[in-house]
Structure formats: C-alpha cells, structure tokens
C-alpha cells in the first residue's frame, strides 16, 4: 500500500489529474439540478458504450467487399457473445440518439441556450448531427442489400444539391458508383473521421458546461438579463450551490446505469438487426429502408410532391440547421420558464408529434411496392372457374398484387381492389389496364388478349 501511495503521489505531482478531477467533481451546481438534467450524462454513457463495443467489433470485422458480409455473419452466429455484442452496439446507437434528442428538447423548452450558453448549444447541435451521421455510416457497414441500397438512395438525394451535389455524392461514396471503395470510405467515416469530431466536440461541450456552469432551473418572472446574469449566477452558487459530487452526480450515475441495463436487456432479448441478402446490383425488386432514426426523413421525402422534392431536399435540412444554430442569437435573453414561453412548448409538441407520425408512416412504407406479397389463396379467389383462377395468378405474376390490396393482402401503393367491380365496368377495367395511369404502368404491350381477358374476369368477381 505504501508503494502504491508513492506511485499515486508521483503521478499526481507530475500530472495534476487528481486535483483536476476533484475540481470537476466538487464544482458547484444549482440546487434544483435534478432528474431533468440527466439526459446529457446518459448520452455520454451511451457514447462510452459505443466506443467499447465498436472497438470489440472492429477486432473481428473485415472491411472488404468480399468478406464484410461473411465476417458479420461470423460475428453474429459463431463468435462467442457476438450476437449480443452487435445488439449492444445497435441499441447503444439508438439509445444515444434518443438521449441526445431528449436532452436538446429539455434545453430548448427551458431556454438553457440563452446567454451566456450560446456556444454550448451550438456545440450540442453539431454533436446531434454527428450522432446521426454515425448511425447512417454504420448502416452500410453491414454490407447487405438494405444497407447498400439505402446509401445509394442517400447519395442520389445528395447529388441533387446544385453546384456541390455531384462532388458531395462522390465524396460520400468514393466514386460515381458504390463498390468496395465505398465500404472502405464508410469504414473510415464511421471509425475514424466522425468519432474524431465527436470526441473533440464532447470535450468542448463539457468544457463550456463547466466554464459557464449548469443552467439553473427556470422560474417564471426571473428573466435572463445580460448585464446582470453572470453576477447573479455567481452569487446564487455561492449562497445556494451544492457540489456536483455527490449531490447531483448520483442521479447521473443511476440513470446512466439504468440506460446501460436497458440497452443490454434489449440486446439479449432481440439481438442485432437481421442481415438481408448480400448486395446485388442486378436486384431491382428491393425496398431499402434506413434504420428507425432516419425513417421520419425517409417518409417526409417519399410523401412530398415530386415537383418540390429536389428543392426541399436541399432547403429543408439547411433551413433546420441554420435555425438551430442561429436561435440562441436572436433569443438570448428574457424569460426561460416554459410557463412564460407557451409557443416554444406548443411548437416542440407539434414537432415531436409530426416526427413520430412520419416515423410510423415510414415503418409502414405505403408508397413502396410490397415485393414480399404472397399469391392470393383459394379462399380469397372464391371461384373454381379456370379463367378466373388464371386471372388471379396473373394478378400476382404481373406484380399487380405488389401495389394493390385485395381483402387485406398486397401492397398499399395503389387503390384497394377488393370491391373494384362495384366501381368499374369490364370495359373500364380493360382501358385502365391497357393505358395505365399515374404511377401505374401501361400493360397494353405486356399482356396478350387472353391474359387481359382473364385478369378482367378475375377483377369482375371483386364485388
């Protein structure tokens, strides 16, 4: 023990880290800094978990287009605790995004971004963007059909940006098309480049929090006055402040530990997202879908009118980021209490409901053909007539069932045809099939007269 004490004293004398740690642990915080303040620390807990599991996965993952898919299969199915490890990394990413989102909402509702914490908010906005970027770049590393095609779609959207779109898409993919070079590029983004910026910004963010102090709980009728706030805050801490450790830190530790336990439980119960088939450039019947935290944007772009899509892809995210970055400068004083800022609370609720609604819509993807639709069973056809049975078979083979639903089976892209014979006559059905309409292709040159007749006969039974 004496030797250990000597070593520790030597290290403290040469580094001063112990004194620095004590100053951080004992720095005063407002006495009301309770459970609403734990989400920032929980985000940091998730980041540490991501670093640990990411390093462990990188020791087994092979970032090569010829072996990446197989290496993930090995990790998931054969490596000891590999399935749980991938699950922890996946749910840890989800947890990090949830926590940073709730943390930003709390900061916005309580106006903690006001003077003198404007730069703290700005660093947090960039951390949120980088957290999303980590999730996006990680999806392609699975090197399955879903991850690859989702990245292709993202590159195509990025390429629509005027002037810089094409170079930006090339920078993202590492060339004009996706391939092994793209995997190497995304591996570098995910493992080196984006984490480096995250570590830098986390350090700056924590420094700003310590430098300006944790924002006190807002109180109605106590506005932020720029000329007086710093002196008031200093006197308030001197009179009422409590040391961060243990009076405030125990909540952070308890909630952080609970967050980690939830992530571990989800990883054990559900495991990582399943791999789809290996990427195949010739596979055109695919419906790439990003991970859940990108589904809202995925749904928004899918639902908006095509005429404005190219403009909104550029202007929407740009306007959102500019608004978040500029907000503390045009609203950096005055009331902080949500009771005195009802429009901020109302706007936050509207945004959360809107994003959650888009998320639910994106989960369902009604605008995409349902390529996994199965042929209609005999109980749905309800006829032994050979022509009608052939028409039902054609309804599936000609991909009509991918977009149209009959008695609860099929896609949602087109109208439900369960009772189409009540709306359209046989001649009207022939006209629609031959000429197409809107997003429906014209089948006039794709079917023989006998096939057309059989299909119409089947649809005429839908009453």
pLDDT digits 0-9 by tens, 16-26 = 888 888 888 88
pLDDT in tens, 106-128: 999 999 999 999 999 999 999 99
At residue 153, does pLDDT exceed 80? no
- pLDDT given for residue 109 in this prediction: 95
Confidence of residue 337 (pLDDT cuts 50, 70, 90): very high
At residue 395, does pLDDT exceed 70? yes
Confidence of residue 347 (pLDDT cuts 50, 70, 90): very high
Over residues 187-200, the mean pLDDT reads 95
- pLDDT given for residue 282 in this prediction: 56
- pLDDT given for residue 254 in this prediction: 95
- Of 36-50, 246-260, 373-387, the poorest mean pLDDT is in 373-387
- pLDDT given for residue 31 in this prediction: 86
* Beta strand segments in 180-296, E: 242-243
- pLDDT given for residue 54 in this prediction: 95
Give the strand pairing for 28-29 and 242-243.
antiparallel
pLDDT in tens, 207-260: 999 999 899 999 998 999 989 999 999 999 999 988 988 888 899 999 999 999
Q: Tell me how many degrees the CA angle 79-270-357 measures, rounded to the nearest 5.
A: 135
- pLDDT given for residue 407 in this prediction: 86
- pLDDT given for residue 287 in this prediction: 64
- pLDDT given for residue 168 in this prediction: 82
At residue 157, does pLDDT exceed 70? yes
Contact by Cβ (8 Å): 218, 30:
no
Closest CA to 85 of 270, 267, 269, 274: 267
Contact by Cβ (8 Å): 270, 56:
no
- pLDDT given for residue 298 in this prediction: 83
The three-class DSSP label of residue 416 is coil
At residue 284, does pLDDT exceed 60? no
Over residues 125-151, the mean pLDDT reads 89
At residue 167, does pLDDT exceed 90? no
What percentage of residues in the chain have a pLDDT greater than 70?
98
Closest CA to 388 of 406, 374, 372: 406
- pLDDT given for residue 365 in this prediction: 80
If you average pLDDT over each of 11-25, 134-148, 283-297, which comes out highest?
134-148
Mean per-residue pLDDT of the chain? 88
Over residues 37-47, the mean pLDDT reads 95
The three-class DSSP label of residue 142 is coil
What percentage of residues in the chain have a pLDDT greater than 90?
43
Confidence of residue 275 (pLDDT cuts 50, 70, 90): confident
pLDDT in tens, 58-115: 999 999 888 999 999 999 999 999 999 999 999 999 999 999 999 999 999 999 999 9
In terms of C-beta distances under 8 Å and separation of at least 24 residues, what long-range contacts does 153-156 make, across chains too? 153/288, 154/290
Which residues have C-beta within 8 Å of that of residue 288, sequence separation ≥ 6?
145, 146, 148, 149, 150, 152, 153
Domains of the chain (ranges; CATH) run 24-364 (1.20.810.10), 378-460 (1.10.760.10)
At residue 367, does pLDDT exceed 80? no
**Which is more confidently placed, 359 or 21?**
359
The half-sphere exposure of 28 on its side-chain side, counting CA atoms within 13 A, is: 13
CB atoms within 10 A of CB 351: 12
């Amino acid at each position: 023990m004496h030797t250990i004490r000597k070593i520790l004293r030597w290290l403290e004398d040469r580094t001063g880290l112990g004194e620095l740690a004590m100053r951080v642990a004992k720095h005063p915080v407002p006495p009301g800094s309770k459970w609403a303040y734990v989400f920032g620390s929980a985000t940091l807990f998730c980041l540490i978990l991501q670093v640990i599991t990411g390093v462990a996965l990188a020791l087994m993952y092979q970032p090569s287009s010829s072996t990446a898919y197989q290496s993930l299969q090995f990790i998931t199915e054969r490596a000891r605790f590999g399935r749980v490890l991938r699950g922890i990394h996946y749910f840890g990413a989800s947890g990090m995004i949830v926590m940073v989102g709730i943390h930003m909402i709390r900061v916005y509702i309580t106006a903690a971004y006001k003077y003198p914490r404007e730069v703290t908010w700005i660093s947090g906005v960039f951390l949120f963007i980088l957290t999303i970027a980590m999730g996006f770049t990680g999806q392609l590393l699975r090197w399955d059909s879903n991850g690859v095609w989702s990245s292709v779609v993202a590159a195509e959207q990025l390429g629509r940006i005027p002037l810089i779109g094409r170079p930006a898409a090339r920078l993202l993919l590492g060339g004009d098309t996706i391939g092994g070079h793209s995997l190497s590029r995304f591996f570098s983004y995910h493992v080196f480049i984006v984490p480096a910026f995250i570590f830098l910004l986390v350090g700056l963010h924590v420094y700003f929090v310590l430098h300006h102090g944790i924002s006190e709980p807002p109180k109605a009728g106590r506005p932020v006055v720029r000329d007086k706030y710093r002196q008031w805050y200093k006197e308030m801490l001197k009179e009422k402040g409590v040391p961060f450790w243990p009076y405030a830190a125990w909540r952070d530790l308890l909630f952080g530990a609970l967050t980690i336990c939830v992530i571990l439980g989800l990883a054990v119960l559900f495991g990582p997202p399943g791999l789809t088939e290996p990427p195949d450039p010739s596979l055109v019947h695919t419906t790439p879908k990003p991970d859940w935290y990108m589904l809202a944007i995925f749904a928004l772009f899918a639902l908006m009118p095509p005429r404005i899509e190219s403009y909104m892809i550029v202007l929407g995210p740009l306007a959102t980021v500019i608004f978040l970055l500029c907000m503390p400068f045009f609203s950096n004083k005055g009331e902080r209490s949500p009771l005195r800022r009802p429009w901020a609370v109302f706007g936050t609720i509207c945004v959360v409901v809107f994003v959650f609604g888009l998320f639910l819509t994106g989960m369902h993807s009604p605008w995409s053909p349902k390529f996994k639709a199965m042929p209609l069973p005999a109980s749905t056809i309800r006829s032994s007539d050979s022509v009608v049975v052939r028409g039902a078979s054609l309804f599936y083979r000609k991909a009509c069932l991918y977009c149209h639903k009959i008695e609860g089976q099929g896609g949602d892209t087109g109208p439900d045809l369960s009772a189409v014979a009540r709306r359209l006559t046989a001649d009207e059905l022939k006209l629609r099939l031959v000429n197409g309409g809107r997003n429906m292709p014209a089948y006039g040159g794709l079917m023989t007269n006998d096939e057309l007749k059989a299909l119409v006969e089947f649809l005429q039974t839908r009453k």
